[in-house]
Structure 1
């Protein structure tokens, strides 16, 4: 049982600094140790109108005096945040649970994976005790942390983790759990632009020639046009109009939480119609013949189902996105071509179209980008665009003289 005694000047020099009306009390615990407590009057309950108080305890009188003065000032200014015992790990999990229903499955998985080292570094700490120096230490820790494959962690991934933490802490402020965001002014690591690898038109032609006899040649032609991996694998035969030579991008197949989710495009620009080359149309006809019409594994009635996926394996089942990437790597090696990533085929399509003089707005429409993002990403593909524009303008001026 603890013993409560009103403090007096004999208990330390901090007594004289107490503000008028202090409710500070000296508490002697069973083991003889001393604690200091005060009661704080809060705004009445908004629903019942009942009086509310909060009792706070500190190890030293000085801490209690300073905390009482600070708390009373914050209550008066209506900026006081009531203490909670929530840890950083608990809040980050709560934040994810609250928002997961509005996130795409792949986004939720990405966030969860990115926050794993953040929770490992900061998780046990009380959320309201989190300070900027703790976040700074976490950033330095993440910079030294190796990846799952043992490689060096990129500055981009560390900056991404810091950005997610900052967003989650902003949400805690909105919920009146924090007064300020300790991650707000922590500087993210400097990110170096990732060097983009692209093929020449000759290399693309060599790749398409190499896969020409395969049953999935239509999918590789779609990749060469600039469709994303998930868009190629999510395409159904009802999305393909071979007579009009175009495909309609309406859904995507994306890895999420160990499974593959079928999701709609992120933006209105992502939901688009993409024209096909005559070669791509012919390739898709061959794919349809080999994987669907001539496939003895698929029942006759099922072959008439327009919702069947275009890119499937020999059993007629969907292909996992990572498998599509592995097959691309194997084809590149077998064809003796310079190695690039599967996603670099999309970069290749954009770069070649821009270099051929296709307007950025048209290229952006094919890729499902905004023109602004396209120009920022592929500015390297237009090194002489300004000079060409000025020369053309000068020619028009001369013609008008």
Structure 2
């Protein structure tokens, strides 16, 4: 039996362990005292990886109530940890090794999660990131001395023979869609009065969540701009949505919607009047009955309008932001200007929003020929 001294967080405790031989007991006692002297001792516990993950998620739920985390983020973590719990959830967290974590990544990429389908590279990375956070919590809680996932490198994305290109529109196609919105009939707008305004805001570079979270208090009709500082997203729990703060500090911005999509102020004013001069805290995008438009319905209707306008299908409505970034880039706007307009960091803009591909190589051919013409 070994007495464990009291600490600030834990009262004095005793640890008992049985051994077949006295020498084994003495060795354990000596090793344990050494660990305590070096502050590397960890009290034995039966908590499994799944137990710790659930406790960690509970702390994240408290963060949601405190307003420092969004519900959708917690549900994202919960989903990412599903495969982790399936394959190593029953392993005592104190026995989990770095090798176990490496094997987990291989398993997730081959056997997958609950449906036994291989997970995408992105899902595997998200699972590893979430597990690291759970194990960091285990370290903070005194369950383990060191996070066994820290030494595991994030797997690189496989090189593809034909990398998937994000479908975007050029400047003229963006204008075509705006004009199509302006020509929507009174009959169509009577059923869905938000269409013209909603997708003009999308054309101005607002995320879907920012469009759906926009309230009238953030609309400046006099100056033709909107203040983006809130978002409304799916919580991951059935059809529920949640309005909260902007995605990040970079997302808070003023967007000159009238400059980007002329006619937007008139459309906003007409919608405001139709809604009975809505109060400042009322959300802009509502259906004819005054109900909020669900994010999935917003995206689905966008796809139908795009098809009706005869424009190329965008894989997701988010790619309209990439289309605006492409137009800015081709018009020689500075990257920092595009990043600021779209509400993300310069690093994100350079890595994900500047277009690349064979068409740009072909576009550079003439200048390349002139650059190296005297090197023949």
TM over 0.5: yes
**So what's the TM-score if we normalise by structure 2?**
0.80
Within the alignment, does 1:129 sit opposite 2:122 as a pair?
no
The CA distance in 2 between the partners of 1:48 and 1:283, in whole Å, is 58
What is residue 144 of structure 1 aligned with on the other side? 110
Aligned partner of 1:56 among 6, 11, 17: 17
Aligned partner of 1:237 among 201, 216, 235: 216
What is residue 299 of structure 2 aligned with on the other side? 325
Say if 2:326 and 2:354, in contact at 8 Å, map to a contact too: no
Q: For residues 209 and 60 of structure 1, do their structure 2 counterparts lie closer, same or farther at Cα, with a shift above 3 Å needed?
A: farther
Q: For residues 359 and 71 of structure 1, do their structure 2 counterparts lie closer, same or farther at Cα, with a shift above 3 Å needed?
A: same
Aligned partner of 1:248 among 200, 222, 227: 227
The CA distance in 2 between the partners of 1:49 and 1:310, in whole Å, is 52
The structural deviation recorded for 1:155 is: 0.6
Say if 1:292 and 1:316, in contact at 8 Å, map to a contact too: no
Say if 2:178 and 2:261, in contact at 8 Å, map to a contact too: no
Q: Which has the higher strand share?
A: 1
Say if 1:364 and 1:371, in contact at 8 Å, map to a contact too: yes
The CA distance in 1 between the partners of 2:9 and 2:169, in whole Å, is 70
What is residue 79 of structure 1 aligned with on the other side? 40
The structural deviation recorded for 1:182 is: 1.6
What is the aligned-residue RMSD (CA, Å)? 3.2
Pairwise mapping of residues 247-326 of structure 1 onto structure 2 (< 5 A)?
247-258=226-237, 259-278=240-259, 280=261, 282-286=263-267, 288-289=269-270, 291-294=271-274, 300=276, 303-326=277-300
The CA distance in 2 between the partners of 1:287 and 1:59, in whole Å, is 81
Say if 1:173 and 1:180, in contact at 8 Å, map to a contact too: yes
Say if 1:242 and 1:281, in contact at 8 Å, map to a contact too: no
Say if 2:110 and 2:117, in contact at 8 Å, map to a contact too: no
The structural deviation recorded for 1:256 is: 0.9
The structural deviation recorded for 1:48 is: 12
**CA deviations over 1:219-271 (Å, ceiling 9, x no partner):** 11111111100101111222112221111112111111422111111333222
Pairwise mapping of residues 2-401 of structure 1 onto structure 2 (< 5 A)?
39-42=1-4, 44-46=5-7, 52-57=13-18, 67-100=28-61, 101=63, 102-145=68-111, 153-191=119-157, 195-212=165-182, 213=184, 214=189, 215=193, 216-258=195-237, 259-278=240-259, 280=261, 282-286=263-267, 288-289=269-270, 291-294=271-274, 300=276, 303-340=277-314, 341-380=316-355
The CA distance in 2 between the partners of 1:49 and 1:148, in whole Å, is 38
Match of 2:263, SS state, is helix
The CA distance in 1 between the partners of 2:346 and 2:53, in whole Å, is 35
The structural deviation recorded for 1:321 is: 1.0
The CA distance in 1 between the partners of 2:89 and 2:21, in whole Å, is 27
> Please, which moves more after superposition, 56-65 or 137-146?
56-65
The structural deviation recorded for 1:175 is: 2.0
The CA distance in 1 between the partners of 2:38 and 2:203, in whole Å, is 61
Match of 2:233, SS state, is strand
Q: For residues 58 and 343 of structure 1, do their structure 2 counterparts lie closer, same or farther at Cα, with a shift above 3 Å needed?
A: farther
**So what's the TM-score if we normalise by structure 1?**
0.75
Higher RCO, 1 vs 2 (CA within 8 Å, ≥6 residues apart): 2
Say if 1:355 and 1:381, in contact at 8 Å, map to a contact too: no
Q: For residues 313 and 186 of structure 1, do their structure 2 counterparts lie closer, same or farther at Cα, with a shift above 3 Å needed?
A: same
Say if 2:329 and 2:354, in contact at 8 Å, map to a contact too: no
Larger radius of gyration: 1
Q: For residues 273 and 66 of structure 1, do their structure 2 counterparts lie closer, same or farther at Cα, with a shift above 3 Å needed?
A: same
The CA distance in 2 between the partners of 1:287 and 1:47, in whole Å, is 59
Match of 1:252, SS state, is strand
The structural deviation recorded for 1:146 is: 5.2
Aligned positions, number: 340
